[in-house]
Chains A and B, each alone.
Chain A
Amino acid sequence: MAIESGQELVRFDGVGLTFPGGSARRPVEVIRQLDLSVQAGEFVAVIGPSGCGKSTLLSLLAGYLTPSSGRVLFRGKPISGPGRERMMVFQQPALFPWLTTAENIAYGLKLKANRSDGRNVKETVAAMLQLVQLDGFARHYPSDLSGGMRQRLEIARALAVDPQVLLMDEPLAALDALTRRTMQREVLNIWEKTRKTILFVTHDIDEAVVMADRIVVMAQRPTFVLEIEEVRLARPRLREDDKVGKVARRLSTLLE
């Protein structure tokens, strides 16, 4: 049931989202009339003013939230809840602190829902450890890992259940500048090796230009898609590159 690269995988169809108000709070309209289509195998970055609802977009796709109007479609079907074909990678890694690196990766594979896969847990864990270069740290607990390593582990745990799309919510925002650049290369590396579709929310315009095939620019809240920029530059891209800088400058004027 593999989906061909280039086929439509995700579709936001006139999506609106309003958080209902409480006794002391007014209802908040976060998203209004959002349309977006993502192809299988694509690397799409999402940028926009802080607090505009970029993360909310991913939560809708993950199935943690349901739209108030419109539809969010995955492979043509409306999303009805969380599922392992759409894995979230959180900004603050949501690793299980009581499990070692290897056990964190194995957790998803051992769940009842995934046991019938016929995938060998040991082999998959080993492959994932290698993919994210954590080979020597299988028995370490998350608290013993550095920030960059935790983020790689989070990616490995998500990839272990073989999702079709990775939803990355500012995954590198908590890292220092140097680790961040290394991790950008790492994520691209993983993307090229696995060919997973990636939706990558970031507030760093340069990061978006260096990494993505397409960049979705979101408007202020209530948000919608302001513009979509296609980045036709060959990889690897450097943020010092003039062509990268030109795209980044154009996008940043859009956001001002």
Chain B
Amino acid sequence: MRGLVPPRSAIRLIGPLTVLMTWELAARFGLVNTLLLPPPSKALADLMVLISSGYLWKALYASLFRVICGFALAVTVGVTLGIAMARIRLINDFFDPLVELLRPISPLALFPLAILWFGIGDGSKIFVIALAASFPVILNTFAGARSIVANLVRASRSLGATELEIFKGIVLPASLPFIFTGVRLAWGISLIVIIAAEMVGATVGMGYMVLEAQQTFRTERVFAGIFVIGVIGFTTDLGFRRLRRWLLPWYRETEA
């Protein structure tokens, strides 16, 4: 009997496949309004058109470029500021109130302002992404650099480490799991912000593509776009988890 049990990954496919099949059949047999809910096969066909015409790549390239620029800025600024705030009191006292005041503001509330300042192109998007995504990086880096076990630093000092060696050899590696969590959250936020920003004001990009499809009533294209956005989010997060296992092989999630 044991040989007949399918692998777990196969079992986990049953749910999504059932939903897709039901949806497809309901659309084909006219049980739902296909103008509002076209069958998945039609969305897939439109996706093929998007790919072969090159339109998808153009939109994807525009969006990912903005995301990567904003994200890179957020990580650079966030890690630097997080560590500086954790180590230097004056810097903490200066930036902490600013972070706490700006953090609750929805990044999209700042978007109209960003368009005024940086125009309708890439600049405004990169700005809001960098701002929104830097908060989780700052906060997690700060928490990491503050949570270092005192005896690790003591042991290191006894062994003869200088302040710089303690920073590079103890503070940084000890903060790394926290930084990584912040970076992963920042990436997720970047993906959310870019779509919303491109729906509010853009001339190219994934968010713009979906919105334009909705306005011209091409519902199958709306679904095709949503599908691509979902795949990007899923695969990149998977990539982050792999990256962590590779970068931090010593880290056990349960211990943190």
List residues of chain A with CB under 8 Å of any chain B CB: 62-64, 81-84, 86-88, 90, 92, 94, 96-100, 107-108, 111-114, 141-143, 157, 161
Contacts and interface: CB of A to CB of B under 8 A. Distances in A.
B155 A114 contact: no
B246 to A, nearest CB: 13
26 contacts: A62-B158, A82-B157, A83-B160, A84-B159, A84-B160, A88-B158, A94-B149, A94-B154, A96-B152, A96-B169, A97-B251, A98-B173, A98-B248, A98-B250, A98-B251, A100-B250, A108-B160, A111-B159, A111-B160, A111-B162, A111-B165, A112-B160, A113-B162, A141-B249, A157-B155, A161-B160
Interface residues on B, range: 20 to 34
Which of A92, A98, A107, A108 is most buried by chain B, counting CB atoms within 10 A of its CB?
A98
A87 B158 CA distance: 6
A157 to B, nearest CB: 8
Contacts of B249: 141
A81 B158 CA distance: 8
B155 A97 contact: no
A111 B160 CA distance: 7
B254 to A, nearest CB: 10
Nearest to B172: A98
Contact of A114 (B152, B160, B250): B160
Contacts of B160: 83-84, 108, 111-114, 161
A112 B165 contact: yes
Contacts of A81: 157
A88 B157 CA distance: 11
Contacts of A86: 158
Contact of A90 (B155, B157, B159, B169): B155
Interface of B: 149, 151-152, 154-162, 165, 169-170, 173-174, 176, 248-252, 255
A186 B151 CA distance: 24
Where chain B touches its partner, the secondary structure class is helix
B89 to A, nearest CB: 17
A98 B161 contact: no
Contacts of A143: 250, 252, 255
A83 B158 contact: yes
Contacts of B149: 94
Contacts of B252: 143
Contacts of B251: 97-98
Contacts of A92: 151
Nearest to B166: A111
A112 B176 CA distance: 23
A107 B176 CA distance: 18
Contacts of A142: 250
Nearest to A94: B151
